[in-house]
Structure 1
Amino acid sequence: MIRYALICDGSHEFEAWFRNSDDFDVQSGQGLVECPICGSQDVRKGVMAPAVATGKSSKSQDPQKAMMEFAGKVRQHISKNFDYVGDRFAREARAIHEGEKPERAIYGETTPAESKALAEEGVPCAPLPDPFVPPQAKKLN
């Protein structure tokens, strides 16, 4: 597949994909290529830098490594912007939800039973997957 930058006689710029370099010429000659903005079939190729594929992309990265880097950024964001309330999470979340305490972002631990009770009461909360849990937080079973 090849992507071309195209320009119509109305100076509208757009892109289109073709199976190979000859397909544009064939389709254009048959009146099958038209500007999506004005409908003109007087379309020509624009200037476009070629995309050169190499064996390794400078931006390619191991997906697991990329996920762990992302998780690290999430952990840092949580540690910096949320208050850690430890095993008081269920009580604090409930108090915030009921307006007894000022609204703020918190994180901490709950047991599975406490988490289920919060959900049943409509208290907005969600468990963090292990890679996103900041180091000071611990899991209660």
Structure 2
Amino acid sequence: MIRYTLKCAEGHRFESWFQSADAFDTLHGKGMVSCAVCGIEDVQKAMMAPPVPKKGKAEAEPTAPERPLSEPAHPAEAMLRQMREHVEKNSTYVGGSFAKEARAMHLGDTPERAIHGEANAQEAKSLIEDGVPILPLPGPPPEKAN
């Protein structure tokens, strides 16, 4: 296992564990590494100092994290997680057909209802340009969480 300090394009710093350096590279390449605070996928490894053993010891003593990694790093992270859970609980998941469903409701082809799902950047841009009211959910989908 390897622990990396990561930093997103918004400046949030957080730590995450990976099975290996190759595992990080693979997950990062597939867009499966995202900021623990805001959820964006523009994440890079931050500068880190390696653990240095004390004189006379064979290896450095591992340091325990200040908090469990399952706990929010910032109060805003907890609020964003609650908001995402509220939306998911009170809307219908339409998966990859989100853009199609949102456009159909906007055009009046189907009744309006609360939905959430997935759209790629091109689909989201097209919806916004056409005046379809959409917003991204904060944080990564649960299946893409680190």
* TM bucket, shorter chain: 0.3 to 0.5
- For normalisation by structure 1, the TM-score amounts to 0.46
Structure showing greater radius of gyration is 1
